[in-house]
C-alpha cells in the first residue's frame, strides 16, 4: 500500500490549499479534506470516519493541518492512524481562545452561561455548550508532531503552544514576524524552508 498526505485547512480555508505541499511530497498523493464540521463534536465523527477509511487503503498517513483544522484533528481521535504531523498555527487550547474571546466581546462566563449563545462581530457566536464540551474533552495526542508558529499570532500565545509541546513531545519552530495566517511572501518562504528542512 502507498502513502498519503492529508491536508486539513483552517477556518475560511479550502481543501485546494493542499496543492501547495505537493512539491514536498512529489511521489505521494495529497488529499485535501473538505470537511463540513463547525464544532469539535461534529469533527470527531467526520474526521474519524474519513481518516479511518483512508487508513485501510494507505500504509502511512502524514497530516498537515492549519489552525482550526489542527484543533479538530486533535480532538477527533485520529492520531492512531497518523504517522507524522505538521501543524501550522494550530489551535491547541480552544478553552483559552474562547475565554479570550469572551473578554474581547466585553462579556463574562456568567453571562454566557445564562444566555447560552452570545453573537460577536469578530467570529463565530460564543457558545456555552461549546465551551463546556472543550473543558470536558481533554486532548490526548501521541504522534510525532512539528509545529510552525508565528510570534505575532493573536489566537494562541507562545506559552500555550510551548505547554502543548511539552505535554505531547512536539517540536516548535517560531517565525519572528509570523502571523496566525501565513500568507505573505516572506511568511510562505519561511514555511517552505521549514517544510524542506524537516523532510
Alpha-carbon distance 145 to 87, whole Å? 7
For residue 165, the surrounding DSSP H or E stretch is helix 158-168
Residue pLDDT, tens place only, 7-54: 999 999 999 999 999 999 999 999 999 999 999 999 999 999 999 999
Residue pLDDT, tens place only, 42-88: 999 999 999 999 999 999 999 999 999 999 999 999 999 999 999 99
Per-residue pLDDT, 58: 96
pLDDT category of residue 1 using cuts at 50, 70 and 90:
low
> In this structure, are strands 84-88 and 145-150 parallel, antiparallel, or unpaired?
parallel
Alpha-carbon distance 28 to 5, whole Å? 7
Cell of 109: 462566563
Closest C-alpha among 22, 105, 37 to residue 68: 37
Alpha-carbon distance 148 to 145, whole Å? 10
State the CB neighbour count (10 A cutoff) for residue 64: 27
Residue pLDDT, tens place only, 93-112: 999 999 999 999 999 999 99
Q: What mean pLDDT, rounded, does the chain reach?
A: 96
State the CB neighbour count (10 A cutoff) for residue 42: 14
> Residue 19 in contact with residue 33, Cβ under 8 Å?
no
pLDDT category of residue 123 using cuts at 50, 70 and 90:
confident
Amino acid at each position: 500500500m502507498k502513502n498519503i498526505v492529508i491536508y486539513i485547512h483552517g477556518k475560511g480555508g479550502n481543501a485546494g490549499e493542499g496543492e501547495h505541499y505537493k512539491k514536498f511530497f512529489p511521489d505521494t498523493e495529497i488529499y485535501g479534506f473538505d470537511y463540513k464540521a463547525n464544532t469539535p463534536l461534529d469533527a470527531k465523527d467526520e474526521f474519524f470516519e474519513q481518516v479511518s477509511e483512508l487508513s485501510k487503503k494507505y500504509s502511512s498517513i502524514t497530516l498537515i493541518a492549519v489552525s482550526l483544522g489542527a484543533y479538530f484533528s486533535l480532538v477527533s481521535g485520529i492520531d492512531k492512524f497518523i504517522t507524522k504531523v505538521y501543524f501550522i498555527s494550530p489551535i491547541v487550547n480552544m478553552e483559552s481562545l474562547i475565554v479570550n474571546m469572551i473578554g474581547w466581546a466585553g462579556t463574562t462566563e456568567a453571562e454566557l452561561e445564562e444566555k447560552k449563545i452570545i453573537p460577536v462581530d469578530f467570529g463565530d457566536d460564543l457558545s456555552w455548550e461549546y465551551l463546556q464540551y472543550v473543558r470536558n474533552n481533554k486532548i490526548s495526542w501521541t504522534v510525532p508532531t512539528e509545529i510552525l508558529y508565528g510570534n505575532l499570532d493573536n489566537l494562541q500565545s507562545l506559552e500555550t503552544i510551548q505547554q502543548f509541546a511539552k505535554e505531547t513531545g512536539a517540536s516548535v519552530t517560531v517565525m519572528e514576524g509570523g502571523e496566525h495566517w501565513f500568507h505573505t511572501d516572506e511568511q510562505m518562504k519561511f514555511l517552505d524552508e521549514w517544510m524542506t528542512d524537516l523532510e
